[in-house]
Amino acid sequence: MKLLSAVCLALAVWATPAHAQQTAPQSLDFLAGNWTLHDASGAEIGRSRMEVQSPGAMLFEQRTVGEGAAQPIWFENSEKDSGWVQLFIGAGGQVREFAAQSAPGAWPIVMGGDVTLRDGTLVKFRLTMARASDDETRRVLEVSRDQGATWTGVFDYTYRRAR
């Protein structure tokens, strides 16, 4: 009987997706839905639609700011990086990644990476995502041209759930 119980337990764990086995997963699934984007002054500047592609593991966002084209963005809960990473299409048409920089499960979530600009300059980017509630988040993107000694804001967006 003990052997049968052990086999059943092992099968239950094996059959459960890895993201569901985590003891305290940090899920971004609450972001699913339609959002309005606001700048630091509070003016509405864009829209976003987020969809859960794999619960607790992958989200897809289509973000439009102003009259620009929709920008595809993915958020991946990376086993390799032990946290959330952001994937997006860079200026050269290739996928760029902002890797996890904050501790797993910590808020705000901080992601970033080193990027070589078209003129050859190497810069650091840092994206901070803060959660005010399930209906409001803030994303601040900053750039450093001196290896992180100083940071300059690129954008400061507040996401509000569309009604």
The string of pLDDT tens digits covering residues 81-96 is 889 999 999 888 889 9
User: Has residue 23 got a pLDDT over 60?
Assistant: no
Band of residue 16 on the pLDDT scale cut at 50, 70, 90? very low
What confidence tens digit (pLDDT) does each residue in 30-76 have?
A: 999 999 999 999 999 999 999 999 999 999 999 999 998 999 999 99
Which amino acid makes up residue 3?
Answer: L
Band of residue 24 on the pLDDT scale cut at 50, 70, 90? very low
Phi and psi at residue 106, in whole multiples of 5°? -80, 145
The CATH topology of domain 29-161 is Lipocalin (2.40.128)
What confidence tens digit (pLDDT) does each residue in 138-153 have?
A: 999 999 999 999 999 9
Has this prediction a pTM greater than 0.75? yes
Q: In the chain, what is the straight-line distance between the N-terminal and C-terminal CA atoms, in Å?
A: 55
The 3-state secondary structure of the chain reads CHHHHHHHHHHHHHHCCHHHHCCCCCCCHHHCEEEEEECCCCCEEEEEEEEEEECCCEEEEEEEECCCCCEEEEEEEECCCCEEEEEEECCCCCEEEEEECCCCCCCCEEEEEEEECCCCCEEEEEEEEEEEECCEEEEEEEEECCCCCCCEEEEEEEEEECC
